[in-house]
Chain A
Amino acid sequence: MRTHPSLIVCPHCDAVYRRPVLATGQVARCGDCDAVLHRATRLDINGWAALTVAAAILFVLANAFPVISVGLQPFRNDATLWQATASLVHGAWAPLALPALAVAIVAPFAQIALLGWVLAYAWHGRRAPGFRSAMKALDWLRPWSMLDVALLGVAVAAIKLAGMAEVAFGPGLWAMAALIGVTALTAKGDPRWLWEATA
C-alpha cells in the first residue's frame, strides 16, 4: 500500500487534489461539491491546548452552577444541567433521560477529555497512548455532542415554564454559552492536523 501525503481527497465526492498550501484562516473548498476540504486552523498547538483547558474549566462551571431556577414564591429551585437532565435516569423514563444526558453532558465531556489527552502528548510532539482510538472516538463523537442544541432547549423550556412559574437563568447557562463558543473552534473543529503534527 502506497500513501500519498501530498494529496487530499474530498470526503463528499472523492475528487483528488494536491494538498493546498493555505494561509492562516483560509479554507479550501472542493471545486465540485463545495465541501470543506481543508481548513488552515487559526490556532497553533498552543492555541488548541489553551482553548481545551478553557473548555475544561467552563465545562466544570457549566455543570457546577445552576443553569436555570424555577419556582413560585417562596419556593425556588436551582437546577444544574446535570439535575435538569439526569433526574429521570432512575425512573421509568430513563429511555428519555439517557439520550439527553449523553448528548448534553457525556459527549461534550468525552470530547474535552480526549482532546486534552492527545494534546498533552502532542505538545511534546508525541502520540499519546491510545492516540488512534482517541482520534477515532473524537471523529465519531462529533455529531452526537449537542451543547448548542441543549442551550436552545433550556431557553425553550424556560419560555414554556414562564407561564406557570418564575424562571431565571443561572450562571451555569452563561458558562454553557461560552463553552459552546470555545469548543466550536476545537472539539467541533477538525483535529486531523494532529496526525501530521505527531509521530
Chain B
Amino acid sequence: MSSRPRAQRLGMVGCRVCGLVVSAPLQAGRKSFCPRCRAALQPRLAGGLGRAWALWLAALIFYVPANLLPVMDIRVLGGTEHAATILGGVVDLWRDGSYGVASVVFVASVLMPGIKYLALAFLLLTVRFANGWARRARARLYRWIEAAGYWSMLDVLVVGLLVSLVQFQALGEIQPRAGILFFGMSVVLTMLAAQSFDARLIWDGEDAA
C-alpha cells in the first residue's frame, strides 16, 4: 500500500471547516481550536462509530413505517380514493406509462435508500473489524452514500408539492399521510449518520496491515 504520511501520525490536523493544516498538541480531554476559523480541531470526529450507529439504527427504524404506511391519500374528483405508499406511487407512474419518471422515483426513493442503509452498515462494520482491504473502494462508497442521501429527499418534496398544489382548488384532494413523515425523518437521519461517520477511519492502522 501507499506510504503517504497521514496527518494524525505527524501530529497535525486539517481543519474541517477552513482547510488550514495545524500542528496541534492534542491532549485527551482538551479541545484545540483552529487558529484561523476557531472551529474545533478533531483528528477524528468525536462520538466515533457509536454516534453513526445510533443514527443509522434510528433511520432504519423509521424506514419500516415509511415504506409500509401510505405517504398520501389521493381522491380524484368524482373518482375513488386510494392511499399510496412510496412503492405504490412508482407502480402508478409505471402504469400511466411514465416509465422514465417511474424509474427515477424508484431509484431515488426505493433503491438508493435501501442500498444506502446496507452500504453504511458495511462501512461501519469493516472499519471496526476488517479495515485492511479495498480502502480506496470503500472511500468511494462513502462519497456515494453522501450523494444518495441528498437525492433521497425527492419524495418528501414531491408529496409536499402535490398536497399544496391540489389544495388550491377543487381538483380532488390529496392528503399527506404519516408515511411521508417517517420517510423524511429516515432520510434526514441517514444524512446525519453519514456525516458523523469519519471517512479518515478507513485509512487508520495502515502501517500495521
- A residues sitting closer than 8 Å to B (CB atoms) are 1-5, 7-16, 31-35, 68, 70-72, 75, 77, 79, 83-88, 93, 95-97, 99-100, 103-104, 132, 135-136, 139, 143, 146, 149-150, 152-157, 159-161, 163-165, 192, 195
Contact = CB atoms under 8 A, between A and B. Distances in A.
Binding site secondary structure of chain A? mixed
A13 B202 contact: yes
Interface of B: 2, 4-8, 10, 12-14, 16-25, 32, 35-39, 76-77, 89, 92-93, 96, 98, 101, 104-105, 108, 135-136, 139-140, 142-143, 146, 150-151, 153-154, 156-169, 171-172, 176, 180-181, 184, 188, 191, 195, 199-200, 202-203
A146 B32 contact: no
A89 to B, nearest CB: 10
A97 B93 CA distance: 24
Contact of B200 (A13, A87, A103, A157): A13
Given A4-B22, A156-B158, 19 more contacts: A1-B22, A1-B32, A9-B12, A10-B14, A12-B199, A13-B135, A14-B8, A14-B14, A15-B6, A16-B5, A34-B136, A70-B171, A96-B184, A100-B160, A103-B157, A146-B150, A149-B154, A153-B154, A157-B162
Contact of A160 (B20, B24, B135, B158): B158
19 contacts: A1-B22, A3-B21, A4-B12, A12-B199, A13-B135, A34-B136, A70-B166, A85-B160, A93-B176, A95-B184, A96-B159, A96-B181, A97-B160, A99-B188, A149-B150, A153-B158, A157-B162, A157-B165, A161-B162
